[in-house]
Amino acid sequence: MATSAGIAVITGAGSGIGRATALALYADGFSVVLAGRRREMLEETATIAKATPPRMLVVPTDVTDPTSIASLFDTITAAYGRIDLLFNNAGTSTRNIPIEDLTLEQWSNVVAVNLTGAFLCARHAFRMMKNQRPRGGRIINNGSVSAHVPRRNSTAYAATKHALTGLTRSLSLDGREYDIACGQIDIGNAATARNEDTARGRLQASGKVEPEARIDVNDVARGVAYMASLSLEANVQFMTVMATKMPYIGRG
């Protein structure tokens, strides 16, 4: 059942970086499990790839729901019996809400998707990777340059993306004895639907609103595909892929 490259699972595979990465991994020979809430978006990814099960499998999943995640991994076990790669990509943010106005509900939703969802998926994958034969696998977390430095008014997003770095380091350390590698890709300004406003104008540290450079999602997907292509003896611990001219280096 398994292809030579193995079984990859991508959360948030129905759009943006998740979709581009699904197409790149599929082209590299992975069988790709597409997870996310909107079935029609996942199916569109499979249609673009002209792929059918088992090379691509659509599994509608809400990463804020532990039961839904358990069901995703039950489906993977039944269909393939193993997992070689988890790309924890699903993510969300609030837009430009100052901390004094950020509600607990808004905060909790960002934590549930970006951090707790990634933890729960990683825990399922870790258990499978530890016990399967051949043993091991790879987990790649989608961080952000917001895992290094925040934007203005992005408390929940910046906090969860910083926390993901801790998750990545912990999984890397604890995974060593089971041949589980864990790395993180930190993206800056990939052109997706959720950051179209970045091209028009985003609030800068200075208080000015200015447009920023963005990059093609395929530049990111190729980075993830490279990380995924390595043998388990090698790991890209952190990779930053960002728009060359975006305000990040040099404090602006």
Ligand X SMILES: NC(=O)c1ccc[n+]([C@@H]2O[C@H](COP(=O)([O-])OP(=O)(O)OC[C@H]3O[C@@H](n4cnc5c(N)ncnc54)[C@H](OP(=O)(O)O)[C@@H]3O)[C@@H](O)[C@H]2O)c1
Q: Which of 6, 49, 62, 86 binds ligand X (CB under 6 A)?
A: 62
CA distance 2 to 80: 7
- Report if residue 148 touches ligand X, rule: CB under 6 A: no
Q: Which of 5, 7, 32, 41 binds ligand X (CB under 6 A)?
A: 41
CA distance 53 to 67: 23
CA distance 124 to 102: 31
User: CB under 8 Å, gap of 24 or more: what pairs does 236-240 form?
Assistant: 236/183, 237/168, 237/172, 237/183, 237/184, 238/143, 238/165, 238/168, 238/183, 238/184, 238/185, 238/186, 239/183, 239/184, 239/185, 239/186, 240/145, 240/148, 240/185, 240/186, 240/187, 240/188
- Report if residue 212 touches ligand X, rule: CB under 6 A: no
- Report if residue 144 touches ligand X, rule: CB under 6 A: yes
Would you say 84 or 212 has its CB closer to ligand X?
212
| Minimum distance from residue 51 beta carbon to ligand X (Å) | 17
Catalytic annotation, pick one of 157, 178, 226, 248: 157
- Report if residue 22 touches ligand X, rule: CB under 6 A: no
Given phi > 0 = left and psi -120 to 50 = alpha, else beta, which region is 100? alpha
Active site residue 178: no
Q: Which of 28, 37, 54, 136 binds ligand X (CB under 6 A)?
A: 37
Closest CA to 137 of 88, 65, 197: 88
DSSP 206: T
| Minimum distance from residue 116 beta carbon to ligand X (Å) | 10
Q: Which of 18, 137, 223, 247 binds ligand X (CB under 6 A)?
A: 18
Q: How many CB atoms lie within 10 A of CB 68?
A: 17
Residue type, 26: Y
| Minimum distance from residue 83 beta carbon to ligand X (Å) | 17
Residues with Cβ within 8 Å of 130's Cβ and at least 6 positions away in sequence, in order, are 178, 180
Q: Which of 5, 34, 57, 113 binds ligand X (CB under 6 A)?
A: 113
At residue 239, the 3 state secondary structure works out as strand
- Report if residue 45 touches ligand X, rule: CB under 6 A: no
| Minimum distance from residue 168 beta carbon to ligand X (Å) | 13
State the binding string over 149-188 for ligand X (x if CB under 6 A, else -): --------------------------------------x-
Would you say 6 or 16 has its CB closer to ligand X?
16
| Minimum distance from residue 25 beta carbon to ligand X (Å) | 15
What residues line the site for ligand X (CB under 6 A)? 11-12, 14-18, 36-38, 41, 61-64, 89-92, 113, 142, 144, 187, 189-190, 192-195
Catalytic site positions:
157
